[in-house]
Structure 1
Amino acid sequence: MYAPQADTRLLARALHAERITAGMDVLDVCTGSGALAVLASRLGARVSATDISWRAVMTARLNAARAGQRVQVRHGDLSMPWFGRTFDLVTSNPPYVPARDARPPTWGRSRAWDAGRDGRHVVDRICSHASALLRPRGVLLMVHSSLCDAGATLTRLEDAGLRASVTERARVPFGPVLTERLPWLRAQGLIGAEQDWEELVVIRAERS
Structure 2
Amino acid sequence: MSAPVPHVDEDLVARLRTDLAAAEFTVTGVLDVLGPLASSALGREQPLPARRVASASSSPAATLIRLFTLGDPVDASEVERALPRLRVHGAVALGLVTEEGDGVVARFDIRPYASDESHWWVASDLAEVATGSPVREDHVLGIGGASTTLAQWTIRRPVSSALDLGTGCGVQALHLGSHADHIVVTDLSERALAFARFNAALNGCTWDVRSGSMLEPVAGQRFDLVVSNPPFVITPRSGEVPLFEYRDGGAAGDAVVAGLVRSVGEHLEPGGVAQFLGNWEVPRGSTWTERVGSWLDGAGVDAWVVQREVQDPAEYAETWSRDGGHHAGTADFDAMYAAWLDDFASRDIESIGFGVITLHRPTGDREPFVDLMDERGPVPPAMGDTVRVGLEARVWLAEHSDDDVLDQAWKATPDVTEERHTLPGASDPSVIVARQGSGLGRVIQLTTVTAAYLSVADGELTPRQAVGAIAGILELDADETEREVVAFVRDAAKDGLLVRPTD
- Whole-Å separation in 1 of the counterparts to 2:212 and 2:243: 17
The CA distance in 2 between the partners of 1:119 and 1:111, in whole Å, is 16
Please list the CA deviations of residues 22-41 of structure 1 after superposition, one character each: whole Å capped at 9, or x if unmatched: x4211111111110011111
CA–CA distance in 1 between the matches of 2:170 and 2:310?
A: 24
Q: State how far apart, in whole Å, the 1-side matches of 2:201 and 2:248 are.
A: 29
Distance change >3 Å, CA 167–CA 66, structure 1 → 2: farther
The higher radius of gyration belongs to 2
Match of 1:31 in 2: 167
Indicate if the aligned counterparts of 1:37 and 1:49 stay in contact, CA closer than 8 A.
yes
- In 1, Cα distance between equivalents of 2:341 and 2:243: 24
| Secondary structure at the counterpart of residue 141 of structure 2 | coil
In structure 2, what is the equivalent of residue 195 of structure 1?
none
Question: 1:147–1:2: structure 2 CA closer, same or farther, 3 Å change rule?
Answer: farther
Partners in 1 of 2:217 and 2:248 — Cα distance?
A: 22
Once residues 247 and 202 of structure 2 are traced to their aligned partners in structure 1, the CA distance between those partners, rounded to angstroms, is 26
Bigger strand share? 1
1:62 and 2:217 matched: no
User: How far apart in 1 are the matches of 2:269 and 2:307?
Assistant: 23
Q: In the aligned structure 2, how far is the partner of 1:50 from the partner of 1:145? A: 21
* CA–CA separation in structure 1 for the residues paired with 2:309 and 2:152: 11
Question: C-alpha deviations, 1:13-66, integer Å up to 9, x for none?
Answer: 111xx1321x42111111111100111113344211111111111111111221
Is the contact made by 2:236 and 2:340 (CA closer than 8 Å) also made in structure 1?
no
Counterpart in the other structure of 1:119: 254
* Deviations 1:145-193 (CA, angstroms, capped at 9, x unpaired): 345796434431343111112247368992523974333334425577x
Q: Does 1:41 align with 2:177?
A: yes
**Structure 2 counterparts to residues 30-179 of structure 1, below 5 A:** 30-101=166-237, 110-115=244-249, 116-120=251-255, 122-147=256-281, 151=289, 152-167=291-306, 169=308, 174-175=319-320, 176-177=322-323
Residues 168/48 of structure 1: CA separation in 2 closer, same or farther (3 Å cut): farther
With the length of structure 1 as denominator, give the TM-score of the two structures: 0.79
Instruction: Give the 4+ runs in structure 1 shifted more than 4 A.
Output: 146-150, 170-173, 189-192
**What is the SS of the residue equivalent to 1:24?**
strand
1:5 aligns with 2:144: yes
Alignment of 1:183-194 (within 5 A): 183-187=338-342, 188=344, 190=349
**After alignment, is 164-173 or 50-59 more displaced?**
164-173
Structure 1 stretches of 5 or more lacking a match? 193-197
- TM-score using structure 2 length: 0.35
With over 3 angstroms needed to count, the CA separation of the structure-2 counterparts of 1:160 and 1:66, relative to structure 1, is: same
Residue identity (%) = 26
Distance 2:254 2:233 in 1: 5
The gaps in structure 2 that reach 5 residues or longer are: 1-139, 363-503
Q: For this pair of structures, how many residues does the alignment match?
A: 196
The amino acid of 1:68's aligned partner reads G
Measure, in 2, the Cα distance between the counterparts of 1:84 and 1:207: 16
Aligned CA distance change for structure 1 residues 63 and 73 (closer, same or farther; 3 Å): same
Distance across 1 between alignment mates of 2:274 and 2:141? 22
Q: 1:171, 1:9 → 2: CA distance?
A: 19
Q: 2:168 and 2:307 mapped to 1: Cα distance?
A: 21
CA distance in 2, matches of 1:185, 1:129: 28
